[in-house]
Each structure stands twice: as C-alpha cells, then as structure tokens.
C-alpha cells in the first residue's frame, strides 16, 4: 500500500469515529471545562446550610469573589445541608458544585422576588403582561459555566407560585428555576431539579449547551413546569435525563408568536437522546415530549406558538408558525 492510500484510509476512519461519537454522547459539544484552579465554599463566605438562614448575600459574595478571580476560574462548592436563598446570578468561568446531600432551596417570599425585563423574543411575560420574575438561578452573557455536583438538589419550592397561578393572584410571570441567557459553553449535569415555579431549565439565546444526567421532578398537576426548554439556542445536546413534571418534558422554542418571528433567532442543532420519564399528557401539547426512550434526533425548530396567542391588540395578526424537523 502506498503512503497516500494509508492517509486516506486513516482520515475516513477518523470521520466515521467522529460521527459515531457525536451520535452517542454530548461530549465535544462544549470544550472540556478547565480544572478550576480555585475553590470557594459557600460556608466560607458566611453561608449557613441550616434550612433557615437566608443565604442570598452569601451567594452574591461568593459570585463576586469568583468574578474577581482569574486563571481557569473557580468552583463554588455547596456542602451538604439545606441552603435557603433568594434568586442569585452566576458569573463566567465558574463551576457551581452541589455535594451529595446539598440542597439549594428557594425562599417563598414572592413579594421580595426581583422583576426583570421580558425577553425581546417574547415581548412580554409569558403568562402576564409586563416584566417577569427573575429566575431562581440566573446567568446573562456568560461563558464557560458548569452547574453540576454529586446529585445535589436545586429546589424551587414552587407550590407557593402554583397556588398563585391557580387562584389567579399572580402579578407577573412566574420565575424559572435555572435560566441562562446569551451564554456559551454551558454544562448542566448530575443534579436534581425539583418543584420549579415555572420552567426548569431554560437556555435562551445560548450556544454550546450540554444537559446530561439530570433528574427533573415536579407533580403532574403543577402548572406549566416544563423540563428543559432550549429557546433560540444552537448546538444544544440533552442526554440521559429523567424528567417527570406537570408539562412538556422537553420543548424546543424560538420565542413567542409575532415577537419570536420579529426577533428571528431559531433553535438549531438540538440533539436529544436517552430521555426517560413521564408527562401528564396523552399527546404532545407543544414542542416535543417523550414518554419513553427514543433514538437520538437532531432538530431545527423555527417558530413556537399558535395564532394570536398574544392578547396584545397592537400586534395582532394571523401568522402561521413554521416548523422544520430535520
């Protein structure tokens, strides 16, 4: 065999291996996160995991400290215990690590929950006009973020929000449990998400996102507690998750109605594989859902929503949502 022939054969083999790897695992979707050079424990910045002390300021202090740090970034270590807190922000080049037995628990004081602007691709809160409550764990414009652990729990204590929704006393759109906006290179893995006020995991305007090995739990009668909603995001890989909530297990979105179309950012390059769990529906309601294990699929979803779902008279129009399944 002449040398050029060997070169061609090796290249073809590599191509085949790459294709097989891309189908079976999410590895390679985000760059391997660097070893974090530094570690901050929530306990060392004044936090108390006693289930009663409010740790909002401790989280803010830890994240500010990480923001000032350099190098390969910093791990924020959450030790075993119940860490009650209000909503907080993440920063770039950080790993949020929840030890086994660590629970980050949202407080239920809805009146003190900060409001944020609606998403430009929604035009208003998804449930009510105006702004919306900040997500419990929130990141905006970040890079290189890992949210992981030894199966620790992020608990939204959503029942207080579900009750307001049922009694129609919500002033604004409910918070999501975890939202990352305009961020790249994000990994969310090896954790339990439970009782989200609204959607559980919401990457919006993001690219290079992996969600793997997470358990997402909420009662079947909890309103609109979607599992994972990639929204106007690209290169998202979701695998090996168990999802049982009150709404869609996974729903791929690109904004809402006229606002989504005007914003014009589709979701693309979405891979979903080995998802198990259950949803309260006998059939899909929106986006995509799974009852059982399904083979991997790559999808592009251009527009989510129906006709005239906005009760916004100024922008009323009959628009056909366009769906592309690849």
The binder of ligand NAG chosen from 92, 143, 157, 213 (CB under 6 A): 213
Is 247 marked active-site? yes
Under the binding rule (CB under 6 A), the answer on residue 277 touching ligand NAG is no
State the burial class of residue 60 (Cβ atoms within 10 Å of its Cβ: 0-12, 13-18, 19+).
middle
What is the separation, in whole angstroms, between the first and last Cα of the chain? Answer: 40
**Contacts of ligand NAG in 90-129 (CB under 6 A):** 114
Q: Which residues contact 115 (CB under 8 A, 6 or more apart)?
A: 131, 132, 133, 134, 172
Least Cα distance to 136 among 164, 105, 171 occurs for 105
Which range binds ligand NAG by CB under 6 A, 125-133, 208-216, 255-263, 269-277? Answer: 208-216
What is the pattern of x (binds ligand NAG, CB under 6 A) and - over residues 227-266?
-------------x--------------------------
Total number of residues that touch ligand NAG (CB under 6 A): 16
Cα 29 from Cα 208, distance rounded (Å): 6
The binder of ligand NAG chosen from 41, 215, 286, 296 (CB under 6 A): 215
CB 301, min distance to ligand NAG, A = 23
Which range binds ligand NAG by CB under 6 A, 68-76, 101-109, 188-196, 318-326? Answer: 188-196
Least Cα distance to 311 among 176, 130, 167, 120 occurs for 130
The binder of ligand NAG chosen from 43, 60, 128, 302 (CB under 6 A): 60
Cα 325 from Cα 268, distance rounded (Å): 10
Which range binds ligand NAG by CB under 6 A, 118-126, 189-197, 258-266, 283-291? Answer: 189-197
The binder of ligand NAG chosen from 192, 298, 302, 319 (CB under 6 A): 192
Cα 295 from Cα 324, distance rounded (Å): 18
Residue linked to tokens 């950080």: 94
Least Cα distance to 237 among 199, 189, 197 occurs for 189
Q: Which residues bind ligand NAG (CB under 6 A)?
A: 60, 87-89, 114, 140, 151, 187, 189-190, 192, 210, 212-213, 215, 240
Q: Which residues are catalytic?
A: 247
């Amino acid at each position: 065999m002449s040398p050029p022939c060997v070169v061609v054969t090796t290249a073809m083999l590599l191509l085949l291996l790459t294709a097989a790897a891309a189908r079976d695992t999410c590895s390679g979707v985000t760059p391997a996160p660097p070893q974090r050079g530094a570690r901050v424990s929530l306990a060392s910045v004044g936090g108390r995991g006693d289930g009663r002390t409010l740790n909002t300021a401790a989280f803010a202090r830890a994240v500010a400290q990480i923001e000032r740090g350099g190098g390969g970034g910093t791990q924020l270590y959450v030790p075993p215990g119940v860490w009650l807190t209000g909503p907080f922000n993440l920063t770039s080049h950080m790993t949020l690590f929840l030890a086994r037995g660590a629970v980050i628990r949202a407080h239920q004081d809805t009146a003190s929950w900060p409001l944020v602007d609606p998403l430009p691709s929604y035009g208003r809160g998804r449930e009510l006009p105006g702004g919306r409550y900040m997500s419990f764990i929130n990141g905006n414009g970040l890079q290189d973020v890992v949210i992981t652990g030894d199966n620790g729990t992020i608990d939204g204590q959503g029942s207080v929000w579900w009750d307001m929704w049922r009694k129609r006393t919500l002033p604004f759109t409910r918070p999501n449990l975890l939202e990352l906006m305009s961020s790249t290179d994000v990994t969310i893995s090896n954790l339990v998400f439970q009782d989200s006020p609204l959607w559980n995991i919401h990457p919006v305007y993001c690219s290079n996102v992996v969600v793997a090995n997470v358990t997402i739990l909420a009662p079947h009668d909890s309103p609109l507690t979607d599992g994972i909603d990639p929204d106007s995001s690209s290169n998202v890989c979701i695998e090996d998750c168990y999802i049982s909530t009150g709404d869609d297990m996974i729903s791929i979105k690109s904004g809402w109605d006229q606002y989504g179309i005007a914003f014009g950012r589709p979701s693309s390059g979405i891979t979903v594989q080995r998802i198990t769990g259950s949803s309260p529906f006998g059939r899909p309601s929106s986006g995509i859902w799974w009852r059982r294990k399904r083979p991997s699929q790559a999808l592009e979803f251009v527009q989510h929503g129906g006709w005239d779902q906005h009760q916004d008279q100024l922008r009323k129009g009959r628009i056909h949502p366009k769906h592309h399944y690849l």
